[in-house]
Structure 1
Amino acid sequence: MTEEPRYLGSGTLEGAARGLTGPPPSHLPARLAITLWDFSWYTRAEDGGPYADLDGACAKAAELGYNAIRICAAPLLLFGGLGLDALAEDLEIEGLGTAPDGGIYGRGTRWYDAPGGYRLNLRQRLLELFGAAERHGLVVVLASWEYQQSPVFAASPQWFEAIDAVPLADRYRVLAAAWDRLIRTVTDAGHRDRIALVELHNEVDFSILPALADGGIEQVRRLRRLHPDLLITASYGKPPHLAMHTVPDGLGAAQFHVYSYGVLDALQRQIDIRSEGTAGFPNPALRALLRKDAPSFPDYGRLAPWKYRATVVTDQMFYGYDWIDPGAWDTWLHDEYGQYREVMRREIESRVISIAAWARWKNVPAVVGEGWIGYTPLLGTFEEGPVGRDLAGHGIRTALEHGVWGMGPCSNAAPHHPLWADEEWQRRINTLILTAPAN
């Protein structure tokens, strides 16, 4: 007599969900392997810089297995109707400026280590990027970092002051109007099918914007009505994973970021590096990690005052990252990681599953546009090394298993980061992404 299998409850049964969370447009790739070029594609275009040759950068991305790039397209500067047309066609890139010792501010940071010293026509450059993307089989995820940091790299405060003068309640409306004009310009140039996704703004929860529910979601819906063939959304830096029902209804894609700071957050709290105005900064814990030639905080000097208003990064963070000893930083993280390993893996897994489940409920494509650990010094190797690669692989495999359409190997996998040199790992991860079944 054959016994029937024991029934242990519906929670023990394998779910029926298969395939992507929601269908992307048919002309786009079945999966996206994304490299995060952010604003660096125009702020690191100095002679010999990582984006001096856009065609070469696109060619290399394709060679490494990427089929998508994610950028700040600066819609407010280019098409915001804010009196910035002349600046858009002759934008001077300065970076953060020169420190008292003659070096640049931001020298030890990621994204902010821009030497500047050149001018460009950003309107023209945007179309050049689309042309290069087309030649090398890449699609483009369009976003804006303008209410987060993009204008800080300009020599003039004009860009920041113009967007900052827009009343808070009107910012999403102005963004949507700018996107409409940008989309039409790209379309007229013959590149509409290159647009993989349009984000009203990057990380709306960590930008100088109201909550998405306070006017933003209406503008996403408006853009979707104007361009029903495109995927249009907004991205979250830290989506409400435990209460995804609170995400406003109307996003055309679930483009959410998955960072598990874990041990990194423990270090940041101990050295108080993300605050501003802390009495006695730097504290003893941070001083123990600084290079021996680090100047005092007052001797380090300060950026032009308007630049602090134009970015969400603090003065303490710039000082700490510019003068940290990367080896000491990495050693601390590796020594302490063991007690955080399991929770960081579980956090990445649970957040990815939450995002995918929400996207499947809404029948929209899911994208993890950024991840997996967090913001580390430029020359730190914790995320690029075995620990980071293990966490990235775990996140990517989880995302593929749960039907996420697009993702990147790591937020640091781009031409302006040292990880770009690890070609074998990027090719392997991108092959994993692009060969995963989509149904």
Structure 2
Amino acid sequence: MNSLFTTPDRPHVVSLWDFTWYTRTGPGEPFEDLDRAFAEARERGYDTIRICAMPFLLFRSGIDTSALGLGPLGGEYGQRTRWYDVRHETTIDARAHLVELFRAADRHDVGVIASSWEYQQSPSFAATPEWYEALHAVDPEERAVVLADAHADLVDLLESEGLGHRLLLTELHNEVQIGYLTDGLDVGRGDEAVRALTPRLERGIARFRQRHPDRPVTVNYAGVPIGALNALPADLDALVVHPYVYGVLQELIDTFGLRGPADRFDEERARELLRQGAPGLAAWSVPAGQEWRTRATIMSPAEVYVHDWCDPEAWDRWLYDRWGTHRVAMYQKLTLWLEAAADAAVSRGIPLILGEGYVGYTPLHGRFEEDLLGAGLCRHAMREARRLGAWGAVVCSNAAPHHPMWTDVALQRQCAEILTGVGHPAPVH
């Protein structure tokens, strides 16, 4: 194990700030004031954030990022969809903003896990398509290597600014088997994709190590690739997995065809989830001339449509009505996945990190994850992560400043206490 990647005195409590820390900096947005966001995170028990550091954009795209335009996908499209509800058009000096994030992290004694969502959805929020086009101009066989160089450049920048100590871990990319890193492999998104990607990822990890042999580096995986854990890259410094167990949520997705081709979407039946006055799927898209945005994200149009137009109470009620059928299996799956991942990590002599989880992707205003049933699964995940000796874990993917769950301070503190075994002191006013 990399000498800098030491075992903490207690598990790290991670908040998932993803790409939102730079897409939502406008007036009244959750990251308008970075110091406030960090202070609120500390109040809730977090000591680590996980971000898209936009490494390719900043260091390998060739794009001038001194006045980077960012904004919503267009009109009301995506405004009720979690992670996509960017409200304002903004312009930032992207590199300066990244340095300021690390400076604020230093002021608040928070560690950073740097990743990239760029081959998934980050470029869809840019004012122009150049970022997306530059990413896809890279040969798929070389994308992991280019990302490695970009992350190494990021380390160089942080060290030059005296901020390298705040970077705890580098992930070449988020959820490597789900996104455009698999281009040209023709393997879908399952364990076959995990295996097929390994040679590409190993080349990327080797390149990063050439530049920064003293820095921990890894990749991370959607779900827990339980059927391919023996096929992961050989030289990882951490096993980072995203144990979304879905269960009852998967039944909803399958019932309405939210993630398949448009012709599998059951629009008529979906009316039971939608608000009155919802347009048809064909009428709901990004504005004309902005179609590149839907290519720059891996989101299914049907899923965005239903998230944007659902009645959140109807969505949650659908899940509650069927919860009893799935409850035991969801708890068992989470435990099984975490035990398998922990065993794989121990066999490699590396730490386990739960970078995202635990139910799955729900509409922005749905409350299934933070209410009684979903919150119980979050607590279960914290107990299991502590039992299995995880290096760190998210309380829940939705426990971050850009989600409504952020207002449930008590739940987040409670989960942090379960994970760390340490009571959280009352905030100082």
Same fold (TM over 0.5): yes
For residue 416 of structure 1, what is the aligned residue in structure 2?
Answer: 402
**Residue 173 of structure 1: how far off its partner (Å):** 1.3
Task: Tell me if 1:265 matches 2:250.
Answer: yes
Deviations 1:30-50 (CA, angstroms, capped at 9, x unpaired): 421000000000111111100
Is 1:377 the counterpart of 2:363 in the alignment? yes
Matched, 1:430 2:416: yes
Structure 2 gap segments, 5+ residues each: 183-195, 423-429
Q: Does residue 56 in structure 1 map to residue 10 in structure 2?
A: no
1:302 deviates by 3.5
CA contact under 8 A between 2:386 and 2:420: conserved in structure 1?
Answer: no
How many angstroms apart in 1 are the aligned matches of 2:173 and 2:131?
16
CA 29–166 in structure 1, closer or farther in 2 if over 3 Å, else same: farther
Distance (whole Å) between structure 2 residues aligned to residue 391 and residue 239 of structure 1: 17
Q: Per the alignment, do residues 28 and 139 of structure 1 end up closer, same or farther by CA in structure 2, a change over 3 Å counting?
A: farther
1:154 corresponds, among 126, 136, 140, to 126
Letter in 2 for 1:284: E
State the SS of the aligned residue for 1:48.
coil
CA separation in 1, counterparts of 2:388 and 2:224?
17
Partner SS, residue 25 of structure 1: coil
Counterpart of 2:337 (choices 341, 344, 351) is: 351
User: Which letter does structure 2 place at the counterpart of 1:92?
Assistant: G
Corresponding residue to 2:82 among 97, 104, 110: 110
Name the amino acid aligned to 1:326: P
SS at match of 1:269: helix
Q: What's the counterpart of residue 70 of structure 2? A: 93
Alignment of 1:7-406 (within 5 A): 25-26=5-6, 30-80=10-60, 82-84=61-63, 86=64, 88-98=65-75, 104-210=76-182, 211-278=196-263, 281-303=265-287, 304-406=290-392
Preserved contact between residue 73 and residue 286 of structure 2 (Cα < 8 Å): no
Q: Kindly tell me: are residues 230 and 433 of structure 1, through their superposed partners in 2, closer, same or farther at Cα, counting changes over 3 Å?
A: farther
1:259-311 deviations in Å (ceiling 9; x for gaps) = 101000001111111223316x5522211211012122233343521111101
Deviation of 1:221 (Å): 2.9
How many Å separate the matches in 2 of 1:223 and 1:298? 44
Q: Distance in 2 between matches of 1:396 and 1:229?
A: 30
Q: Say which SS state the counterpart of residue 340 (structure 1) adopts.
A: helix
RMSD: 1.8
For structure 1, list consecutive stretches of 5 or more residues without a partner in the other structure: 1-20, 99-103
Residue 7 of structure 1 corresponds to: none
Q: Post-superposition shift, 1:238?
A: 2.5
Alpha-carbon distance change, 246 to 301 in structure 1, aligned in 2, over 3 angstroms: closer
Change (3 A) 1:324 1:44: same
**Aligned-pair identity (%):** 41
SS at match of 2:364: coil
CA distance in 2, matches of 1:63, 1:135: 14
Task: State the number of aligned residues.
Answer: 408
Deviations 1:307-347 (A, max 9, x none): 11101002111111100111111001000000100000000
TM-score computed with the length of structure 1 as normaliser: 0.89
- The one-letter code of the counterpart of 2:313 is G
**1:17 alignment counterpart:** none
Shift of 1:115: 1.8
Measure how far apart 1:248 and its partner are.
2.3
